[in-house]
Chains A and B, each alone.
Chain A
Amino acid sequence: MPTRTVAVAARTGLHARPAALFVKAAADQETPVRIRVGDGPAVPAASMLSVLSLGVGHGTEVTLEADGPGADAALDALAALLARDLDAEEPADA
Protein backbone atom coordinates (compact mmCIF):
# COMPACT_ATOMS: atom_id res chain seq x y z
CA MET A 1 0.00 0.00 0.00
CA PRO A 2 1.37 3.47 -0.86
CA THR A 3 2.48 5.48 2.19
CA ARG A 4 4.18 8.79 2.96
CA THR A 5 5.99 9.64 6.18
CA VAL A 6 6.31 13.31 7.06
CA ALA A 7 7.20 15.44 10.10
CA VAL A 8 4.37 17.77 11.16
CA ALA A 9 5.63 21.35 10.71
CA ALA A 10 2.78 23.24 12.40
CA ARG A 11 4.09 24.88 15.57
CA THR A 12 1.18 23.71 17.73
CA GLY A 13 1.22 20.23 16.15
CA LEU A 14 -1.93 18.71 14.72
CA HIS A 15 -4.35 20.60 16.97
CA ALA A 16 -6.88 23.37 16.50
CA ARG A 17 -6.66 25.10 13.11
CA PRO A 18 -3.91 22.94 11.58
CA ALA A 19 -5.96 19.83 12.44
CA ALA A 20 -9.09 21.37 10.95
CA LEU A 21 -7.26 22.25 7.71
CA PHE A 22 -5.77 18.77 7.46
CA VAL A 23 -9.03 16.93 8.18
CA LYS A 24 -10.93 19.05 5.67
CA ALA A 25 -8.31 18.38 3.00
CA ALA A 26 -8.45 14.65 3.77
CA ALA A 27 -12.24 14.63 3.47
CA ASP A 28 -11.93 16.33 0.07
CA GLN A 29 -9.78 13.47 -1.36
CA GLU A 30 -11.48 10.87 -3.53
CA THR A 31 -9.71 8.02 -1.77
CA PRO A 32 -10.00 7.43 1.99
CA VAL A 33 -6.67 8.21 3.67
CA ARG A 34 -5.55 6.91 7.06
CA ILE A 35 -2.97 8.37 9.39
CA ARG A 36 -0.82 6.80 12.11
CA VAL A 37 2.09 7.65 14.39
CA GLY A 38 4.91 5.11 14.13
CA ASP A 39 3.49 1.60 14.37
CA GLY A 40 0.35 2.78 16.14
CA PRO A 41 -3.12 2.07 14.79
CA ALA A 42 -4.06 3.92 11.59
CA VAL A 43 -7.16 6.13 11.94
CA PRO A 44 -9.28 7.87 9.29
CA ALA A 45 -7.63 11.18 8.33
CA ALA A 46 -11.07 12.66 7.61
CA SER A 47 -12.09 12.24 11.26
CA MET A 48 -11.39 15.29 13.41
CA LEU A 49 -11.79 13.32 16.64
CA SER A 50 -9.47 10.53 15.51
CA VAL A 51 -6.82 12.97 14.33
CA LEU A 52 -6.99 14.99 17.56
CA SER A 53 -6.76 11.80 19.62
CA LEU A 54 -3.39 10.97 18.05
CA GLY A 55 -2.03 13.92 20.05
CA VAL A 56 0.50 14.78 17.34
CA GLY A 57 2.95 17.48 18.42
CA HIS A 58 5.26 19.75 16.43
CA GLY A 59 7.93 17.73 14.61
CA THR A 60 6.25 14.36 15.18
CA GLU A 61 6.59 12.01 12.19
CA VAL A 62 3.28 10.67 10.94
CA THR A 63 2.60 8.10 8.23
CA LEU A 64 -0.23 8.53 5.76
CA GLU A 65 -1.58 5.50 3.91
CA ALA A 66 -4.15 5.01 1.17
CA ASP A 67 -5.07 2.41 -1.40
CA GLY A 68 -6.97 2.60 -4.64
CA PRO A 69 -7.23 4.99 -7.55
CA GLY A 70 -5.59 8.35 -6.98
CA ALA A 71 -3.92 7.18 -3.76
CA ASP A 72 -0.52 8.61 -4.64
CA ALA A 73 -1.88 12.03 -5.57
CA ALA A 74 -3.95 12.18 -2.37
CA LEU A 75 -0.95 11.20 -0.24
CA ASP A 76 1.30 13.75 -1.95
CA ALA A 77 -1.21 16.53 -1.40
CA LEU A 78 -1.74 15.74 2.28
CA ALA A 79 1.97 15.17 2.99
CA ALA A 80 2.74 18.56 1.43
CA LEU A 81 0.11 20.17 3.64
CA LEU A 82 1.59 18.68 6.82
CA ALA A 83 5.07 19.85 5.81
CA ARG A 84 3.86 23.49 5.93
CA ASP A 85 3.67 25.55 9.12
CA LEU A 86 -0.10 25.85 9.09
CA ASP A 87 -0.07 28.00 12.23
CA ALA A 88 1.87 30.69 10.46
CA GLU A 89 -0.61 30.96 7.61
CA GLU A 90 -3.50 33.39 7.74
CA PRO A 91 -6.97 31.95 7.24
CA ALA A 92 -7.84 32.43 3.57
CA ASP A 93 -11.42 33.46 4.25
CA ALA A 94 -10.97 35.68 7.30
Chain B
Amino acid sequence: MRRVLVANRGEIAVRVIRAAHAAGLETVAVYSDADAESRWVQLAGTAVHIGKSAAAKSYLNSAALVEAARETGADAVHPGYGFLSERPGAVKELTDAGLTFVGPSVSTIETMGDKAAARDAARRADVPIVPGSGPVGDVDEALAAADDVGYPVLLKAAAGGGGRGIRPVASREELADALPAAQAEARAAFSDDTVYLERAIDGARHIEVQILADHAGTVVHTFERDCSVQRRRQKLIEEAPAPGLSAETRADINEAAVRLARQVGYVGAGTVEFLLTPSGEFFFIEMNTRIQVEHPISEAVTGVDLVSEQLRIAAGEPISFAQDDVRIRGAAVEFRINAEDPDNGFRPTPGDLSTLDLPGGPGVRVDTGFVAGDRISPFYDSMIAKLICSGPDRDTALARGRQALAELRVDGVPTTVSMHRRLLDEPGLRAGAVHTRWLEGLLPEPT
Protein backbone atom coordinates (compact mmCIF):
# COMPACT_ATOMS: atom_id res chain seq x y z
CA MET B 1 0.00 0.00 0.00
CA ARG B 2 1.53 3.23 -1.14
CA ARG B 3 -1.09 5.69 -2.32
CA VAL B 4 -4.53 6.02 -0.72
CA LEU B 5 -7.51 7.50 -2.50
CA VAL B 6 -9.81 9.19 0.00
CA ALA B 7 -13.36 8.59 -1.22
CA ASN B 8 -15.01 11.19 0.95
CA ARG B 9 -15.21 14.89 1.68
CA GLY B 10 -15.26 17.34 4.60
CA GLU B 11 -13.59 16.75 7.92
CA ILE B 12 -13.17 13.00 7.51
CA ALA B 13 -11.31 13.48 4.22
CA VAL B 14 -8.94 15.86 6.03
CA ARG B 15 -8.60 13.41 8.94
CA VAL B 16 -7.68 10.50 6.65
CA ILE B 17 -5.24 12.57 4.58
CA ARG B 18 -3.44 13.66 7.77
CA ALA B 19 -3.19 10.09 9.06
CA ALA B 20 -2.00 8.79 5.69
CA HIS B 21 0.69 11.44 5.34
CA ALA B 22 1.86 10.80 8.90
CA ALA B 23 2.16 7.11 8.00
CA GLY B 24 4.30 7.98 4.98
CA LEU B 25 1.55 7.23 2.46
CA GLU B 26 0.66 9.38 -0.52
CA THR B 27 -2.91 10.60 -0.93
CA VAL B 28 -5.42 11.27 -3.66
CA ALA B 29 -8.43 13.45 -2.90
CA VAL B 30 -11.58 13.38 -4.98
CA TYR B 31 -14.04 16.21 -5.35
CA SER B 32 -17.34 17.19 -6.91
CA ASP B 33 -18.14 20.47 -8.66
CA ALA B 34 -19.16 21.99 -5.32
CA ASP B 35 -15.92 21.00 -3.59
CA ALA B 36 -13.30 22.09 -6.14
CA GLU B 37 -11.73 24.69 -3.82
CA SER B 38 -11.93 22.59 -0.68
CA ARG B 39 -9.37 22.13 2.05
CA TRP B 40 -8.95 18.38 1.49
CA VAL B 41 -8.25 18.98 -2.20
CA GLN B 42 -5.44 21.33 -1.18
CA LEU B 43 -4.03 18.99 1.47
CA ALA B 44 -3.90 15.83 -0.63
CA GLY B 45 -0.95 14.98 -2.86
CA THR B 46 -3.20 14.84 -5.93
CA ALA B 47 -6.87 15.57 -6.50
CA VAL B 48 -9.29 14.28 -9.11
CA HIS B 49 -12.62 15.75 -10.13
CA ILE B 50 -15.21 12.95 -10.10
CA GLY B 51 -18.48 14.57 -11.08
CA LYS B 52 -21.30 16.93 -10.35
CA SER B 53 -22.28 18.15 -6.91
CA ALA B 54 -25.10 15.69 -6.21
CA ALA B 55 -23.56 12.79 -4.26
CA ALA B 56 -25.11 10.22 -6.61
CA LYS B 57 -23.06 11.74 -9.41
CA SER B 58 -19.78 12.04 -7.52
CA TYR B 59 -18.96 10.55 -4.10
CA LEU B 60 -21.37 7.66 -4.67
CA ASN B 61 -20.17 6.95 -8.19
CA SER B 62 -17.95 3.91 -7.75
CA ALA B 63 -17.04 3.76 -11.45
CA ALA B 64 -15.69 7.32 -11.24
CA LEU B 65 -13.71 6.41 -8.12
CA VAL B 66 -12.18 3.34 -9.77
CA GLU B 67 -11.24 5.51 -12.75
CA ALA B 68 -9.72 8.17 -10.47
CA ALA B 69 -7.66 5.50 -8.71
CA ARG B 70 -6.46 4.07 -12.03
CA GLU B 71 -5.56 7.51 -13.34
CA THR B 72 -3.53 8.43 -10.26
CA GLY B 73 -2.02 5.03 -9.47
CA ALA B 74 -3.77 4.79 -6.11
CA ASP B 75 -3.67 1.26 -4.71
CA ALA B 76 -6.05 1.67 -1.76
CA VAL B 77 -9.33 3.43 -0.99
CA HIS B 78 -10.38 4.84 2.37
CA PRO B 79 -14.16 5.35 2.37
CA GLY B 80 -14.52 7.50 5.50
CA TYR B 81 -18.10 7.23 6.78
CA GLY B 82 -21.36 7.49 4.87
CA PHE B 83 -21.24 7.51 1.06
CA LEU B 84 -19.78 4.19 -0.16
CA SER B 85 -18.45 3.00 3.19
CA GLU B 86 -21.24 0.53 3.92
CA ARG B 87 -22.43 -0.29 0.40
CA PRO B 88 -21.25 -3.82 -0.38
CA GLY B 89 -21.95 -3.53 -4.13
CA ALA B 90 -19.79 -0.45 -4.46
CA VAL B 91 -17.03 -1.85 -2.25
CA LYS B 92 -16.98 -4.98 -4.43
CA GLU B 93 -16.44 -2.81 -7.51
CA LEU B 94 -13.44 -1.24 -5.80
CA THR B 95 -11.91 -4.52 -4.67
CA ASP B 96 -12.65 -6.20 -8.04
CA ALA B 97 -10.61 -3.40 -9.59
CA GLY B 98 -7.66 -4.58 -7.47
CA LEU B 99 -7.85 -1.79 -4.89
CA THR B 100 -7.27 -2.41 -1.19
CA PHE B 101 -10.37 -1.31 0.70
CA VAL B 102 -9.64 0.27 4.09
CA GLY B 103 -12.40 -1.57 5.88
CA PRO B 104 -13.86 -5.01 6.33
CA SER B 105 -14.64 -7.50 3.56
CA VAL B 106 -17.66 -7.19 1.30
CA SER B 107 -19.31 -10.17 2.98
CA THR B 108 -18.84 -8.66 6.47
CA ILE B 109 -20.39 -5.39 5.30
CA GLU B 110 -23.25 -7.39 3.82
CA THR B 111 -23.84 -9.43 6.97
CA MET B 112 -23.71 -6.52 9.39
CA GLY B 113 -25.76 -4.32 7.05
CA ASP B 114 -28.61 -6.81 7.16
CA LYS B 115 -30.32 -6.36 10.52
CA ALA B 116 -31.62 -9.93 10.69
CA ALA B 117 -28.23 -11.44 9.78
CA ALA B 118 -26.49 -9.13 12.26
CA ARG B 119 -28.84 -10.22 15.06
CA ASP B 120 -28.17 -13.85 14.16
CA ALA B 121 -24.44 -13.23 14.39
CA ALA B 122 -24.92 -11.57 17.79
CA ARG B 123 -26.99 -14.50 19.03
CA ARG B 124 -24.24 -16.91 17.96
CA ALA B 125 -21.62 -14.76 19.71
CA ASP B 126 -23.70 -14.86 22.91
CA VAL B 127 -24.24 -11.09 22.70
CA PRO B 128 -27.65 -10.05 24.05
CA ILE B 129 -30.07 -8.68 21.47
CA VAL B 130 -33.22 -6.64 21.93
CA PRO B 131 -36.15 -9.06 22.12
CA GLY B 132 -37.51 -9.14 18.60
CA SER B 133 -38.82 -11.22 15.73
CA GLY B 134 -37.65 -12.49 12.39
CA PRO B 135 -39.10 -10.91 9.27
CA VAL B 136 -42.87 -10.44 9.49
CA GLY B 137 -44.70 -10.65 6.15
CA ASP B 138 -48.32 -10.04 7.01
CA VAL B 139 -50.46 -8.60 9.79
CA ASP B 140 -51.28 -11.96 11.41
CA GLU B 141 -47.62 -12.86 11.58
CA ALA B 142 -46.79 -9.42 12.98
CA LEU B 143 -49.52 -9.61 15.64
CA ALA B 144 -48.33 -13.02 16.82
CA ALA B 145 -44.70 -11.86 16.89
CA ALA B 146 -45.56 -8.65 18.76
CA ASP B 147 -47.42 -10.63 21.44
CA ASP B 148 -44.20 -12.59 22.01
CA VAL B 149 -41.94 -9.52 21.99
CA GLY B 150 -44.21 -7.36 24.15
CA TYR B 151 -45.56 -3.84 23.44
CA PRO B 152 -44.55 -1.12 22.78
CA VAL B 153 -42.67 -2.39 19.73
CA LEU B 154 -40.66 -0.85 16.90
CA LEU B 155 -41.24 -1.90 13.29
CA LYS B 156 -37.85 -1.82 11.64
CA ALA B 157 -36.72 -2.11 8.01
CA ALA B 158 -34.25 -4.99 7.66
CA ALA B 159 -32.23 -2.90 5.20
CA GLY B 160 -32.47 0.29 7.30
CA GLY B 161 -29.82 1.97 9.40
CA GLY B 162 -28.65 5.22 10.90
CA GLY B 163 -32.02 5.63 12.57
CA ARG B 164 -33.96 5.42 9.33
CA GLY B 165 -36.79 2.99 8.62
CA ILE B 166 -38.07 2.74 12.19
CA ARG B 167 -41.72 3.10 13.23
CA PRO B 168 -42.94 2.91 16.84
CA VAL B 169 -46.14 0.96 17.51
CA ALA B 170 -47.82 1.31 20.90
CA SER B 171 -50.53 -1.33 20.71
CA ARG B 172 -52.20 -4.23 18.84
CA GLU B 173 -54.73 -1.79 17.40
CA GLU B 174 -52.02 0.32 15.74
CA LEU B 175 -50.10 -2.59 14.30
CA ALA B 176 -52.56 -3.52 11.53
CA ASP B 177 -52.16 -0.09 9.90
CA ALA B 178 -48.53 0.40 10.81
CA LEU B 179 -47.25 -2.77 9.11
CA PRO B 180 -48.22 -1.95 5.50
CA ALA B 181 -47.05 1.65 6.03
CA ALA B 182 -43.68 0.47 7.34
CA GLN B 183 -43.33 -1.98 4.43
CA ALA B 184 -44.12 0.75 1.91
CA GLU B 185 -41.60 3.10 3.53
CA ALA B 186 -38.95 0.39 3.58
CA ARG B 187 -39.58 -0.41 -0.08
CA ALA B 188 -39.36 3.28 -1.00
CA ALA B 189 -36.27 4.04 1.05
CA PHE B 190 -34.25 0.83 0.71
CA SER B 191 -35.87 -1.04 -2.25
CA ASP B 192 -36.56 -3.89 0.19
CA ASP B 193 -39.81 -4.16 2.14
CA THR B 194 -38.59 -6.71 4.69
CA VAL B 195 -39.49 -5.52 8.19
CA TYR B 196 -39.20 -7.06 11.64
CA LEU B 197 -40.28 -6.22 15.18
CA GLU B 198 -38.27 -5.21 18.18
CA ARG B 199 -39.27 -4.27 21.71
CA ALA B 200 -39.17 -0.50 22.28
CA ILE B 201 -37.10 0.28 25.35
CA ASP B 202 -37.76 3.48 27.30
CA GLY B 203 -35.09 5.55 28.95
CA ALA B 204 -32.23 3.63 27.35
CA ARG B 205 -28.78 5.05 26.71
CA HIS B 206 -26.95 4.59 23.43
CA ILE B 207 -23.60 3.02 24.27
CA GLU B 208 -21.24 1.96 21.52
CA VAL B 209 -17.92 0.17 21.62
CA GLN B 210 -15.01 0.93 19.32
CA ILE B 211 -13.20 -2.18 18.14
CA LEU B 212 -10.20 -2.84 15.94
CA ALA B 213 -9.39 -6.19 14.33
CA ASP B 214 -6.44 -7.14 12.18
CA HIS B 215 -5.81 -9.82 9.57
CA ALA B 216 -4.01 -12.00 12.13
CA GLY B 217 -7.26 -12.34 14.06
CA THR B 218 -6.37 -9.99 16.91
CA VAL B 219 -9.44 -8.09 18.13
CA VAL B 220 -9.23 -5.27 20.67
CA HIS B 221 -11.58 -2.57 21.91
CA THR B 222 -10.79 1.02 22.81
CA PHE B 223 -13.68 1.23 25.25
CA GLU B 224 -17.13 2.70 24.90
CA ARG B 225 -18.77 5.97 23.98
CA ASP B 226 -22.10 7.31 25.20
CA CYS B 227 -24.02 8.89 22.31
CA SER B 228 -27.37 9.35 23.99
CA VAL B 229 -27.78 13.04 23.18
CA GLN B 230 -29.65 12.64 19.92
CA ARG B 231 -32.39 14.27 17.98
CA ARG B 232 -34.39 12.08 15.65
CA ARG B 233 -31.70 9.45 16.16
CA GLN B 234 -28.99 11.82 14.93
CA LYS B 235 -26.21 12.16 17.46
CA LEU B 236 -25.31 15.67 18.63
CA ILE B 237 -23.08 15.19 21.68
CA GLU B 238 -20.96 12.12 22.44
CA GLU B 239 -18.86 11.25 25.47
CA ALA B 240 -16.12 8.82 26.34
CA PRO B 241 -16.12 6.97 28.61
CA ALA B 242 -19.85 6.53 29.27
CA PRO B 243 -20.47 8.38 32.54
CA GLY B 244 -21.57 6.38 35.55
CA LEU B 245 -20.98 2.92 34.08
CA SER B 246 -20.03 0.28 36.65
CA ALA B 247 -16.70 -1.45 36.11
CA GLU B 248 -18.59 -4.71 35.63
CA THR B 249 -20.97 -3.36 32.97
CA ARG B 250 -18.08 -1.65 31.22
CA ALA B 251 -16.12 -4.90 31.05
CA ASP B 252 -19.17 -6.88 29.94
CA ILE B 253 -20.22 -4.52 27.16
CA ASN B 254 -16.70 -4.09 25.79
CA GLU B 255 -16.11 -7.85 25.83
CA ALA B 256 -19.45 -8.45 24.11
CA ALA B 257 -18.38 -6.16 21.26
CA VAL B 258 -15.08 -8.01 20.88
CA ARG B 259 -16.92 -11.37 20.85
CA LEU B 260 -19.20 -10.19 18.05
CA ALA B 261 -16.28 -8.90 15.97
CA ARG B 262 -14.54 -12.28 16.41
CA GLN B 263 -17.70 -14.16 15.52
CA VAL B 264 -17.98 -12.45 12.12
CA GLY B 265 -14.23 -12.55 11.38
CA TYR B 266 -14.12 -8.78 11.41
CA VAL B 267 -11.14 -6.89 9.99
CA GLY B 268 -10.66 -3.14 10.42
CA ALA B 269 -12.20 -0.50 12.67
CA GLY B 270 -15.82 -0.94 13.62
CA THR B 271 -18.38 0.14 16.16
CA VAL B 272 -20.81 -2.12 17.96
CA GLU B 273 -23.86 -0.20 19.15
CA PHE B 274 -25.91 -1.16 22.20
CA LEU B 275 -28.89 0.08 24.16
CA LEU B 276 -28.24 0.19 27.88
CA THR B 277 -31.46 0.05 29.90
CA PRO B 278 -32.00 1.91 33.17
CA SER B 279 -31.78 -1.46 34.95
CA GLY B 280 -28.30 -2.05 33.53
CA GLU B 281 -29.13 -4.63 30.87
CA PHE B 282 -27.62 -4.05 27.46
CA PHE B 283 -28.72 -5.17 24.03
CA PHE B 284 -26.94 -5.17 20.67
CA ILE B 285 -28.52 -2.82 18.10
CA GLU B 286 -26.20 -2.78 15.11
CA MET B 287 -22.61 -2.69 13.99
CA ASN B 288 -21.19 0.12 11.88
CA THR B 289 -18.50 -1.34 9.66
CA ARG B 290 -16.46 1.84 9.23
CA ILE B 291 -14.82 4.67 11.12
CA GLN B 292 -17.37 6.71 13.01
CA VAL B 293 -17.90 10.49 13.20
CA GLU B 294 -17.31 10.43 16.97
CA HIS B 295 -14.09 8.37 16.87
CA PRO B 296 -11.92 11.27 18.21
CA ILE B 297 -13.33 11.03 21.74
CA SER B 298 -12.05 7.46 21.94
CA GLU B 299 -8.70 8.68 20.64
CA ALA B 300 -8.66 11.42 23.28
CA VAL B 301 -9.18 9.05 26.22
CA THR B 302 -7.00 6.17 25.02
CA GLY B 303 -4.27 7.85 22.98
CA VAL B 304 -4.91 5.43 20.11
CA ASP B 305 -4.91 6.93 16.60
CA LEU B 306 -7.82 4.96 15.13
CA VAL B 307 -7.43 6.10 11.52
CA SER B 308 -3.75 5.29 11.51
CA GLU B 309 -4.60 1.82 12.90
CA GLN B 310 -7.12 1.42 10.06
CA LEU B 311 -4.37 2.11 7.54
CA ARG B 312 -1.96 -0.31 9.26
CA ILE B 313 -4.57 -3.05 9.29
CA ALA B 314 -5.45 -2.51 5.62
CA ALA B 315 -1.76 -2.80 4.76
CA GLY B 316 -1.72 -6.22 6.46
CA GLU B 317 0.16 -5.09 9.55
CA PRO B 318 -0.85 -6.00 13.11
CA ILE B 319 -2.59 -3.56 15.44
CA SER B 320 0.17 -1.49 17.05
CA PHE B 321 -0.79 -2.24 20.67
CA ALA B 322 -2.29 -4.99 22.82
CA GLN B 323 -5.56 -4.85 24.75
CA ASP B 324 -3.74 -4.63 28.06
CA ASP B 325 -1.91 -1.51 26.90
CA VAL B 326 -5.17 0.46 26.57
CA ARG B 327 -6.50 2.39 29.58
CA ILE B 328 -9.11 5.10 29.88
CA ARG B 329 -7.31 8.28 30.87
CA GLY B 330 -9.72 11.06 31.69
CA ALA B 331 -12.80 11.96 29.72
CA ALA B 332 -13.73 13.53 26.39
CA VAL B 333 -16.82 15.06 24.87
CA GLU B 334 -17.62 15.87 21.24
CA PHE B 335 -20.03 18.55 20.05
CA ARG B 336 -21.25 18.36 16.47
CA ILE B 337 -21.30 21.78 14.89
CA ASN B 338 -23.94 21.47 12.19
CA ALA B 339 -25.41 23.95 9.73
CA GLU B 340 -28.85 23.56 11.25
CA ASP B 341 -31.00 26.10 13.03
CA PRO B 342 -31.82 24.76 16.51
CA ASP B 343 -34.30 27.60 17.02
CA ASN B 344 -36.15 26.66 13.88
CA GLY B 345 -36.80 22.95 14.07
CA PHE B 346 -33.21 22.15 13.04
CA ARG B 347 -33.93 23.35 9.52
CA PRO B 348 -30.84 22.76 7.34
CA THR B 349 -29.00 26.03 6.72
CA PRO B 350 -26.66 25.80 3.73
CA GLY B 351 -24.88 29.04 2.88
CA ASP B 352 -21.64 30.96 2.96
CA LEU B 353 -19.39 30.55 5.95
CA SER B 354 -18.18 34.11 6.55
CA THR B 355 -16.36 33.44 9.84
CA LEU B 356 -14.89 30.28 11.31
CA ASP B 357 -12.83 31.22 14.37
CA LEU B 358 -11.70 28.06 16.11
CA PRO B 359 -10.99 27.64 19.83
CA GLY B 360 -7.73 26.21 21.20
CA GLY B 361 -5.81 25.33 24.32
CA PRO B 362 -5.09 22.07 26.14
CA GLY B 363 -7.58 19.30 25.47
CA VAL B 364 -9.30 21.15 22.61
CA ARG B 365 -9.39 19.60 19.15
CA VAL B 366 -11.40 20.75 16.16
CA ASP B 367 -11.82 18.53 13.10
CA THR B 368 -13.24 20.38 10.14
CA GLY B 369 -13.01 20.32 6.35
CA PHE B 370 -13.82 24.00 6.01
CA VAL B 371 -12.32 27.45 6.34
CA ALA B 372 -13.97 30.88 6.43
CA GLY B 373 -15.13 31.82 2.96
CA ASP B 374 -16.21 28.28 2.09
CA ARG B 375 -19.73 27.51 1.06
CA ILE B 376 -21.63 25.00 3.16
CA SER B 377 -23.23 23.11 0.34
CA PRO B 378 -26.84 21.91 0.29
CA PHE B 379 -25.74 18.68 -1.40
CA TYR B 380 -24.17 16.92 1.58
CA ASP B 381 -24.69 16.48 5.29
CA SER B 382 -24.84 19.50 7.52
CA MET B 383 -21.71 18.98 9.61
CA ILE B 384 -19.29 21.92 9.58
CA ALA B 385 -16.97 20.81 12.37
CA LYS B 386 -16.53 18.57 15.36
CA LEU B 387 -15.34 20.10 18.61
CA ILE B 388 -13.66 17.55 20.87
CA CYS B 389 -12.77 18.58 24.42
CA SER B 390 -10.94 16.35 26.85
CA GLY B 391 -9.34 16.47 30.26
CA PRO B 392 -8.18 14.39 33.21
CA ASP B 393 -11.80 14.04 34.37
CA ARG B 394 -15.30 14.65 33.07
CA ASP B 395 -15.77 18.00 34.82
CA THR B 396 -12.61 19.35 33.22
CA ALA B 397 -13.64 18.08 29.79
CA LEU B 398 -17.04 19.79 30.13
CA ALA B 399 -15.46 23.00 31.46
CA ARG B 400 -13.08 23.08 28.51
CA GLY B 401 -16.10 22.46 26.29
CA ARG B 402 -17.85 25.47 27.76
CA GLN B 403 -14.84 27.70 27.16
CA ALA B 404 -14.26 26.35 23.65
CA LEU B 405 -17.90 26.87 22.69
CA ALA B 406 -17.67 30.44 23.99
CA GLU B 407 -14.61 31.05 21.79
CA LEU B 408 -15.93 29.28 18.70
CA ARG B 409 -17.40 31.75 16.23
CA VAL B 410 -19.26 30.59 13.16
CA ASP B 411 -20.97 33.30 11.10
CA GLY B 412 -22.88 33.18 7.87
CA VAL B 413 -25.09 30.23 8.64
CA PRO B 414 -27.06 29.38 11.79
CA THR B 415 -25.47 26.43 13.61
CA THR B 416 -25.93 24.13 16.57
CA VAL B 417 -23.31 26.08 18.60
CA SER B 418 -25.96 28.06 20.48
CA MET B 419 -27.77 24.85 21.42
CA HIS B 420 -24.57 23.25 22.74
CA ARG B 421 -23.89 26.29 24.93
CA ARG B 422 -27.37 26.00 26.42
CA LEU B 423 -27.17 22.23 26.87
CA LEU B 424 -24.02 22.51 28.98
CA ASP B 425 -26.16 24.20 31.65
CA GLU B 426 -28.69 21.38 31.72
CA PRO B 427 -28.60 19.46 35.01
CA GLY B 428 -29.30 16.19 33.16
CA LEU B 429 -26.23 16.60 30.98
CA ARG B 430 -24.03 17.73 33.83
CA ALA B 431 -25.08 14.69 35.85
CA GLY B 432 -24.59 12.35 32.89
CA ALA B 433 -28.22 11.32 33.34
CA VAL B 434 -29.26 11.37 29.71
CA HIS B 435 -31.00 8.84 27.49
CA THR B 436 -31.81 8.71 23.79
CA ARG B 437 -35.07 10.70 24.12
CA TRP B 438 -33.66 13.23 26.62
CA LEU B 439 -32.89 15.97 24.12
CA GLU B 440 -36.21 15.66 22.32
CA GLY B 441 -37.91 16.13 25.68
CA LEU B 442 -36.09 19.45 26.16
CA LEU B 443 -36.72 20.86 22.73
CA PRO B 444 -39.86 22.73 21.78
CA GLU B 445 -42.24 20.70 19.64
CA PRO B 446 -41.54 21.23 15.92
CA THR B 447 -43.93 23.75 14.40
The answer to whether A and B belong to the same complex is no
